[in-house]
């Protein structure tokens, strides 16, 4: 007799359960998703011992019809789709018809359910997948599912569970996300008999965020409300103050399902650039609502991964959604014309995407990105930047257009912070960060507009002896360096001559040689982000090196020119690295 046999149903279900049910939090996820699909407006979750001994979900959804009950525990049994094409138009959380079969194969499961049209409910008990008891019971419309002794028949699985507190934390975190994805549903969580949280189901995501994250976070959020190509992006993003060291607070829902997607993560990173500090991740809780035929969610049984049909488009949409809010009045706190702002957003966007589009979207290897970058610069950089230089584009920091802002100069604190007063607000301005932001915008504008006269001629050209590595870098990035405003000339094997430097508002006649070497040092040293976004980095580094430092005494005239310059910027509130340039303190904040 051969060795190959068909597995029995229980074994099949237990194997399948391995994919979706790894821990109690997965049980909660699957059951809550079923309640959501059943149209429940109230979902209560009760947990004991981290969910190991009990997970109980009570919903007020539509219930399961009597004749469907046996099927509901069968594998591949679902009321949600009939054929695979239906997925193109399916918005339910479930569709695989395997969650209940999987859970009941590895636990003791009790289900009480009643539909509107029936007068009594049914209660069934299943053990390792088989219905062992069934009786009529009094019940209100809805479904209650009790899962006891998870993995009682799969000891290897049980062994891998973590401490109760840890398992409970997974459950709580997941349920909080579900509550944010469905603000119109009231969720309640009870752990070991103790109340944990309850949302009121009033549909307001802000209320829920306040409840989960507290006042500090809530006060630093800006609404996102963006629509493009049938894709709606709503929710909130956080400003610099609440950017964090981890991605924990980056949550995306796609048609109310919490998902992970690299394209979206990359896009968000890019959009937050300049609005978070170095190494910090922007805070966001965003919902994407879009037609189901534009992506595939059936990539993995847990449905947390998706594949978009048009990844480039999704990248751009999320980028623009975040960027427009990051550049909004609420975020920047100023009163710029919104028409200007729109232009600024598009302009920033074009600037970033023209060169890096592909390499950013599909986070390629460093070598590939470099290759791409160089090719893009070679092939398209010239023409695209010329386009920007037409009448239609706006030079956002035309220096002659500086607005006159009335402010009262108070003084300089600790030789670092300029203090001014505008109306009832006091501003503390970090002189280095502010100057850096100003220079960064000036260099970038020169660069984007491809101004041929963006270089200040040096009376005495500087001759620099460089290392082999430095020369290589310059050769590879010659065009970038020139466009930034450096007029350079190769002068023998390892020597270059600098004839001109970027035309920006230096404070002091900087030592050109040292500054250029510093920039090279910084760029070549910092391999962390090597060659990725080199353009941005180069400009930011030049700005940083050329900017006035802390503890350098500024004259009144210099302060004036710095503040006036700063106030004409679209985003004067952070330096290019995302450090705040300015802190605003209201009269009310000072009351004590
Ligand atoms: N709380 C509930 N209220 C009403 N019907 C439910 C509930 N839970 C399950 N059902 C019914 O039982 C069926 C089987 O549920 P199950 O979770 O196994 O599969 P599914 O949700 O269709 O797909 P998936 O495996 O992707 O979750 C569902 O299609 C639904 O008809
Ligand atoms: Mg389901």
What ligand has the least distance to the C-alpha of 60?
A: 1
- Using the 8-state DSSP alphabet, how is residue 121 labeled? E
Q: What contacts 590, CB < 8 A, 6 or more positions away?
A: 426
**Atom number in ligand 1 closest to CA 57:** 1
Q: State in Å: Cα 80 to ligand 1 middle.
A: 8
How many percent of the chain have pLDDT more than 70?
82
Strands (DSSP E) along 160-263, which ranges?
A: 186-191, 194-198, 221-228, 231-238, 250-254, 257-258
**Atom number in ligand 1 closest to CA 142:** 3
Q: Can you tell me the distance from the alpha carbon of 349 to that of 367, in angstroms, rounded to the nearest whole number?
A: 24
Q: Can you tell me the distance from the alpha carbon of 422 to that of 5, in angstroms, rounded to the nearest whole number?
A: 82
What ligand has the least distance to the C-alpha of 21?
A: 1
**Contact of 54 with 146, CB cutoff 8 Å:** yes
Q: State in Å: Cα 54 to ligand 2 middle.
A: 19
Whose CA is closest to atom 8 on ligand 1? Answer: 34
Sign of the Cα torsion 310, 341, 445, 394 reads positive
Task: Please report the pLDDT score of residue 234 as a whole number.
Answer: 97
- Using the 8-state DSSP alphabet, how is residue 381 labeled? I
Q: Which residues approach ligand 1 with their CB closer than 6 A? A: 30, 34-35, 38, 59, 61-64, 72, 77-80, 94-101, 143
Question: Among 16, 68, 97, 116, which is best to mutate for testing ligand 1, by the most ligand atoms less than 8 A from CB?
Answer: 97
**Atom number in ligand 1 closest to CA 303:** 26
Positions of CATH 3.30.230.10 in the chain:
214-372
What ligand has the least distance to the C-alpha of 111?
A: 1
Whose CA is closest to atom 31 on ligand 1? Answer: 79
Q: Can you tell me the distance from the alpha carbon of 60 to that of 140, in angstroms, rounded to the nearest whole number?
A: 8
Q: Can you tell me the distance from the alpha carbon of 64 to that of 220, in angstroms, rounded to the nearest whole number?
A: 44
What ligand has the least distance to the C-alpha of 64?
A: 1
Burial class (CB in 10 A: 0-12, 13-18, 19+), 154: middle
Average pLDDT over residues 84-110: 92
Q: How confident is the model at residue 358 (pLDDT cuts 50, 70, 90)?
A: very low
pLDDT digits over 385-428, tens only? 333 332 222 333 333 344 556 788 898 988 888 998 888 888 88
Q: Report whether pLDDT(269) > 80.
A: yes
Q: State in Å: Cα 188 to ligand 2 middle.
A: 20
pLDDT digits over 16-75, tens only? 777 889 999 999 999 999 999 999 999 999 999 999 999 999 999 999 999 999 999 988
Q: Can you tell me the distance from the alpha carbon of 234 to that of 253, in angstroms, rounded to the nearest whole number?
A: 10
pLDDT digits over 203-248, tens only? 999 999 999 999 989 988 999 999 999 999 999 999 888 888 888 8
**Contact of 300 with 310, CB cutoff 8 Å:** no
- Using the 8-state DSSP alphabet, how is residue 6 labeled? P
Whose CA is closest to atom 28 on ligand 1? Answer: 78
Specify the higher pLDDT residue, 306 or 561. Answer: 306
**Atom number in ligand 1 closest to CA 94:** 26
Q: State in Å: Cα 32 to ligand 2 middle.
A: 8
Question: Among 94, 109, 117, 126, which is best to mutate for testing ligand 1, by the most ligand atoms less than 8 A from CB?
Answer: 94
What ligand has the least distance to the C-alpha of 143?
A: 1
Bridge partners (DSSP) listed for residue 307: 296
Task: Please report the pLDDT score of residue 326 as a whole number.
Answer: 82
Single out the residue of 228, 264, 221 nearest to residue 243, CA to CA.
Answer: 221
Q: Can you tell me the distance from the alpha carbon of 177 to that of 83, in angstroms, rounded to the nearest whole number?
A: 30
Please state the separation of Cα 345 from the chain's center in Å. 17
Q: Can you tell me the distance from the alpha carbon of 66 to that of 69, in angstroms, rounded to the nearest whole number?
A: 6
Task: Please report the pLDDT score of residue 378 as a whole number.
Answer: 40
**Atom number in ligand 1 closest to CA 96:** 26
Q: Label the pairing between strands 408-413 and 487-490.
A: unpaired
Q: State in Å: Cα 481 to ligand 2 middle.
A: 57
Q: Can you tell me the distance from the alpha carbon of 199 to that of 505, in angstroms, rounded to the nearest whole number?
A: 53
Task: Please report the pLDDT score of residue 369 as a whole number.
Answer: 38
Q: State in Å: Cα 478 to ligand 1 middle.
A: 61
**Alpha carbon distances (Å) from 416 to 351, 419, 441, 511, 563:** 32, 10, 21, 22, 14
Q: Can you tell me the distance from the alpha carbon of 432 to that of 434, in angstroms, rounded to the nearest whole number?
A: 5
Task: Please report the pLDDT score of residue 376 as a whole number.
Answer: 40
**Atom number in ligand 1 closest to CA 98:** 25
Report the CATH number of the 374-585 domain. Answer: 3.30.1540.20
Out of 205-214, 339-348, 573-582, which region has the weakest mean confidence (pLDDT)? 339-348
Q: What contacts 478, CB < 8 A, 6 or more positions away?
A: 488
Average pLDDT over residues 536-564: 84
Q: Can you tell me the distance from the alpha carbon of 173 to that of 404, in angstroms, rounded to the nearest whole number?
A: 50
Specify the higher pLDDT residue, 97 or 549. Answer: 97
Task: Please report the pLDDT score of residue 436 as a whole number.
Answer: 87
Q: State in Å: Cα 146 to ligand 2 middle.
A: 15
What ligand has the least distance to the C-alpha of 17?
A: 1
Specify the higher pLDDT residue, 439 or 568. Answer: 439
Positions of CATH 3.30.565.10 in the chain:
9-188
Neighbours of 166 (CB within 10 A): 12
Whose CA is closest to atom 12 on ligand 1? Answer: 72
Q: State in Å: Cα 447 to ligand 2 middle.
A: 54
Task: Please report the pLDDT score of residue 147 as a whole number.
Answer: 98
pTM for the model stands at 0.66
Q: State in Å: Cα 97 to ligand 1 middle.
A: 6
Q: How confident is the model at residue 167 (pLDDT cuts 50, 70, 90)?
A: very high
Burial class (CB in 10 A: 0-12, 13-18, 19+), 332: buried
Report the CATH number of the 9-188 domain. Answer: 3.30.565.10
Q: State in Å: Cα 104 to ligand 2 middle.
A: 13
Q: State in Å: Cα 239 to ligand 1 middle.
A: 40
Burial class (CB in 10 A: 0-12, 13-18, 19+), 498: buried
Q: How confident is the model at residue 251 (pLDDT cuts 50, 70, 90)?
A: very high
Out of 146-160, 283-297, 362-376, 475-489, which region has the weakest mean confidence (pLDDT)? 362-376
**Contact of 581 with 574, CB cutoff 8 Å:** yes
The CATH class that applies to domain 214-372 reads alpha beta
- Mean of all residue pLDDT scores within the chain: 82
Determine the angle formed by the axes of helices 431-449 and 338-361, rounding to 10 degrees.
80
Counted residue by residue, the chain has a size of 592
Whose CA is closest to atom 27 on ligand 1? Answer: 94
Q: What is the DSSP secondary-structure string of 288-354?
A: EE--GGGEE-TTSTT--B-EES-HHHHHHHHHHHHHHHHTSHHHH-S---HHHHHHHHHHHHHHHHH
**Atom number in ligand 1 closest to CA 81:** 22
Task: Please report the pLDDT score of residue 51 as a whole number.
Answer: 98
Q: State in Å: Cα 18 to ligand 1 middle.
A: 18
CA atoms in the 13 A half-sphere facing the CB of 270:
31
Q: State in Å: Cα 194 to ligand 1 middle.
A: 28
What ligand has the least distance to the C-alpha of 103?
A: 1
Q: Can you tell me the distance from the alpha carbon of 477 to that of 471, in angstroms, rounded to the nearest whole number?
A: 10
Specify the higher pLDDT residue, 152 or 338. Answer: 152
Question: Among 33, 78, 82, which is best to mutate for testing ligand 1, by the most ligand atoms less than 8 A from CB?
Answer: 78
Q: Can you tell me the distance from the alpha carbon of 346 to that of 351, in angstroms, rounded to the nearest whole number?
A: 8
Positions of CATH 3.30.1540.20 in the chain:
374-585
Average pLDDT over residues 279-297: 92
What ligand has the least distance to the C-alpha of 81?
A: 1
Phi and psi, residue 58, nearest 5°: -115, 125
Average pLDDT over residues 305-317: 92
Torsion of CA 213, 217, 218, 223, to 10 degrees: -110
Whose CA is closest to atom 9 on ligand 1? Answer: 34
Question: Among 13, 27, 33, 37, which is best to mutate for testing ligand 1, by the most ligand atoms less than 8 A from CB?
Answer: 37
| Long-range contacts of the stretch 465-471 (C-beta < 8 A, 24+) | 465/494, 465/495, 466/494, 466/495, 466/496, 466/520, 467/494, 468/494, 469/524, 470/520, 470/524, 471/496
């Amino acid at each position: 007799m051969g060795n190959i046999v068909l597995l029995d149903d229980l074994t099949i279900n237990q194997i399948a359960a391995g994919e979706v049910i790894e821990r109690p939090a997965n049980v909660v996820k699957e059951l809550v998703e079923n309640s959501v699909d059943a149209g429940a407006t109230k979902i209560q979750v009760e947990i004991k011992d981290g969910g190991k001994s009990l997970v109980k979900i009570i919903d007020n959804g539509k219930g399961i019809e009597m004749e469907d009950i046996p099927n509901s525990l069968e594998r591949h049994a679902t009321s949600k789709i009939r054929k695979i094409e239906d997925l193109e138009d399916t918005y339910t959380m479930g569709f695989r018809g395997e969650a209940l079969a999987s859970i009941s194969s590895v636990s003791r499961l009790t289900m009480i359910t009643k539909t509107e049209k029936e007068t009594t409910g049914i209660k069934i008990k299943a053990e390792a997948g088989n219905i062992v008891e069934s009786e009529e019971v009094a019940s209100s419309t809805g479904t209650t599912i009790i899962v006891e002794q998870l993995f009682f028949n799969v000891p290897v699985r049980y062994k891998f569970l973590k401490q109760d507190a840890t398992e409970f934390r997974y459950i709580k975190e997941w349920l909080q996300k579900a509550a944010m994805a469905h603000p119109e549903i009231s969720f309640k969580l009870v752990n070991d008999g103790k109340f944990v949280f309850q949302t009121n189901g009033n549909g307001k995501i802000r209320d829920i965020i306040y409840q989960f994250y507290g006042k500090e976070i809530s006060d630093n959020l800006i609404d996102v409300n963006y629509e493009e190509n049938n894709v709606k992006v709503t929710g909130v993003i956080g400003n610099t103050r609440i950017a964090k060291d981890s991605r924990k607070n980056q949550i995306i829902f796609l048609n109310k399902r919490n998902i992970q997607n690299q394209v979206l993560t990359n896009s968000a990173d890019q959009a937050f650039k300049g609005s978070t500090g170095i190494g910090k991740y922007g805070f966001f809780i965003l919902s994407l609502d879009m037609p189901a035929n534009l992506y595939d969610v059936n990539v993995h049984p847990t449905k947390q991964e998706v594949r978009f049909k048009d990844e480039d488009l999704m990248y751009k949409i999320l980028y623009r959604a975040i960027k427009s809010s990051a550049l909004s009045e609420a975020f920047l706190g100023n009163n710029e014309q919104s028409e200007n702002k729109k232009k600024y957003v598009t302009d920033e966007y074009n600037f970033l995407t023209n060169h890096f589009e592909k390499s950013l979207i599909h986070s390629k290897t460093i070598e590939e990105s470099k290759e791409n970058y160089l090719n893009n610069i070679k092939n398209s950089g010239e023409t695209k930047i010329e386009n920007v230089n037409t009448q239609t584009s706006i030079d956002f920091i035309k220096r002659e257009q500086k607005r006159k802002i009335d402010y009262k100069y108070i003084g300089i604190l600790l030789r670092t912070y300029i203090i001014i007063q505008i109306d009832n607000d006091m501003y503390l301005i970090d002189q280095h960060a502010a100057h850096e932001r100003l220079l960064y915008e000036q260099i970038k504008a020169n660069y984007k507009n491809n101004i041929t006269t963006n270089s200040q001629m040096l009376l005495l050209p500087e001759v620099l002896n460089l290392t082999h590595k430095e020369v290589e870098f310059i050769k590879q990035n010659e065009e970038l360096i020139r466009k930034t405003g450096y007029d350079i000339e190769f002068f023998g094997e390892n020597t270059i001559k600098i004839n001109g430097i970027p035309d920006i508002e230096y404070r002091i006649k900087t030592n050109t040689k040292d500054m250029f070497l510093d920039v090279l040092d910084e760029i070549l040293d910092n391999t962390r982000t090597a060659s990725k976004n080199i353009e941005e980095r180069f400009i930011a580094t030049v700005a940083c090196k050329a900017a006035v430092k802390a503890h350098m005494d500024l004259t009144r005239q210099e302060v004036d020119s710095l503040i006036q310059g700063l106030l004409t910027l679209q985003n004067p509130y952070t330096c290019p690295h995302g450090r705040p340039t300015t802190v605003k303190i209201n009269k009310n904040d000072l009351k004590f």
